[in-house]
Amino acid sequence: MKIVGVAACTVGIAHTYIAQEKLENAAKKAGCEMKVETQGTIGIENELTQQEIDQADIVILAVDVKISGRERFDGKRIIQVPTEIAVKSPNKLIEKAQEVVAQKV
Amino acid sequence: MMNDNFFQVFLDQTFKNKAHVQRFIAEFANQTEAEELIALLQQREKVGNTMIAEHVILPHLESPKIEQSQVLLIRLAEPIDFDEKTPAVQLIITILLKSNESQGTKKKIAQFTRRLADDDFIDQLLSFEKEAEIYQIL
């Protein structure tokens, strides 16, 4: 399964990057491929390409603020949570994503 | 890895409640503008819980009143409850970010926060007995 995501928090220096690491690690553990773009105080890093977005089975947005380029995900299945959730329960979040994808007809 | 005082480690602190901790952080960042920084810390709390692991919280501040960007690791001798949702806090990792900080410094901070996703690293920060040991892994 392929997942793409975006992480962004208010100050953009702390939770953004922990959320990214935790999600990518949790996805790996669950046997999924995941790439998380970070929109922080540094700017956008690890930017998702349109191809990566098109190929993804699902999108996870771990965001506390409005993100730029949200329209890139139009028409995709999206799970949106605060960064807090991605930091505290990354494994559950990935499980949830797998369930949602499994339900897809 | 960075200029010497970028990381500041304080072990065995005896703060009794959240207000004490916030005052310590604010006064460390800027003695004369502490009140404003305390208000900022409280504001950030309202946005969301900053707990990142059991016993560990990560408050962070960005302000022009911050004189120098720094990371403070404050470890308490005895865990304290910050509030209902934030029980038994032992380690307070505080990120102080000066407004208009350079990209280079921001990237270093981001690199550090990424490491906080690693439970083993967190365990070390919680358990190492000497400040020198902690400085070594930062």
pLDDT tens digit sequence for A17-73: 999 999 999 999 999 999 999 999 999 999 999 999 999 999 999 999 999 999 999
Q: Do residue A15 and residue B110 have CB atoms under 8 angstroms apart?
A: no
Give residue A84's pLDDT.
92
Number of CB atoms found within 10 A of residue B8's CB: 16
Contact present, A60 and A7 (Cβ < 8 Å): no
pLDDT at B30: 95
pLDDT of B46: 81
Residue-wise pLDDT for B91-100, tens only, equals 999 999 999 9
The shortest C-alpha distance from A68 to chain B (Å) reads 20
At residue B19, does pLDDT exceed 80? Answer: yes
The answer to whether B97 and B67 have CB atoms below 8 angstroms apart is: no
Structural domain range at position B83: 7-137
* B125 within domain boundaries: yes
pLDDT 10s digits, B112-130: 999 999 999 999 999 999 9
- Whole-structure pTM value: 0.90
Domains recognised in chain A with CATH numbers? 2-103 (3.40.50.2300)
Active site residue A9: yes
ipTM of the complex: 0.87
- At residue B4, the pLDDT reads 63
Residue B45 forms part of a structural domain: yes
Q: What is the mean pLDDT of chain B?
A: 93
* Token pair 């950030």: residue: B44
If phi over 0 gives left and psi between -120 and 50 gives alpha, with beta otherwise, what is residue A46? left
- Chain B nearest-CA distance from A64, in A, is 8
CA separation, residue A58 to residues A8, A36, B16, B95, B97 (Å): 18, 12, 45, 32, 34
Distance CA B88, CA B79 (A): 5
What residues of chain B lie within 8 A of the CB of A20, using their CB?
Answer: 114, 117
pLDDT single digits (tens) B28-43: 999 999 999 999 999 8
Phi and psi at residue B32, to the nearest 5°: -85, -15
Number of CB atoms found within 10 A of residue A41's CB: 20
pLDDT attached to residue B2: 46
Q: For chain A, where are the alpha helices, taking DSSP H only?
A: 15-29, 50-55, 83-88, 90-103
Task: Work out the burial of residue B126: count CB atoms within 10 Å of its CB; fewer than 13 is exposed, 13-18 middle, 19 or more buried.
Answer: middle
- Cβ B29 vs Cβ B99: under 8 Å: no
**CATH number, domain with residue B15:** 3.40.930.10
B18's tokens: 């959240």
Cα of A72 to nearest chain B Cα, Å: 25
In a domain, B2, yes or no: no
Which chain B residues contact residue A82 at CB under 8 A? 48
Q: How far is the C-alpha of A85 from the C-alpha of B55, rounded, in Å? A: 16
> Is B26 contained in some domain?
yes
Q: How many domains does chain B have?
A: 1
Distance CA A32, CA A62 (A): 17
Does B95 sit within 8 Å of A13, measured CB to CB?
yes
Nearest-by-CA chain B residue for A13:
B110
